[in-house]
Amino acid sequence: MLETYITNLKKSHMKPFIIFIIIFVLFFDAVILKLSNAWFDIPIYLYVIYAIWMIFNVILMFQDSYKNIQINKISALRYLIINNIAGYLQPISMASIYLIRHHGMA
């Protein structure tokens, strides 16, 4: 039973959703930045959020790609933390499109 829970934590099934969000965000950010020429006017915290978002997405992708599953409390906690942080960063990255649009067009 514990192995089933840890397997479900490790295989988060968020990979297709994250790939879609990455393509969506990068496309719209590129279009908005190209139209507004606001490359250097973007606040530094948006760059930091994007960096953290990409780091956790890459970690989650690597976590999903490994075949071996470690069955212990530390691994389960690590899987849970990575899944939660990566999951909560997805709406933040979507909201950053609005921030770039609002800041770039002002």
Calpha distance 21→24 (Å, rounded): 5
Share of residues in the chain with pLDDT > 70 (%): 96
Region 77-93: what's the mean pLDDT?
Answer: 89
Please, what is the end-to-end C-alpha distance for the chain in angstroms?
55
Report the pLDDT value the prediction gives residue 7, as an integer from 0 to 100. Answer: 76
pLDDT digit string (tens) for 5-15? Answer: 777 777 777 88
> Residue-wise over 7-39: b if at least 16 C-beta within 10 A, else e?
eebbebebeeebeebeeebeebbeebbeebebe
Report the pLDDT value the prediction gives residue 39, as an integer from 0 to 100. Answer: 75
Taking the CA atoms of residue 68, residue 70, residue 74 and residue 78 in that order, the dihedral angle to the nearest 10 degrees is 30
pTM of structure: 0.80
Q: How far is CA 44 from CA 40, 50, 62, 93, 100, in A?
A: 10, 10, 27, 14, 12
pLDDT digit string (tens) for 20-36? Answer: 999 999 998 888 888 88
pLDDT category of residue 105 using cuts at 50, 70 and 90: low
Report the pLDDT value the prediction gives residue 64, as an integer from 0 to 100. Answer: 79
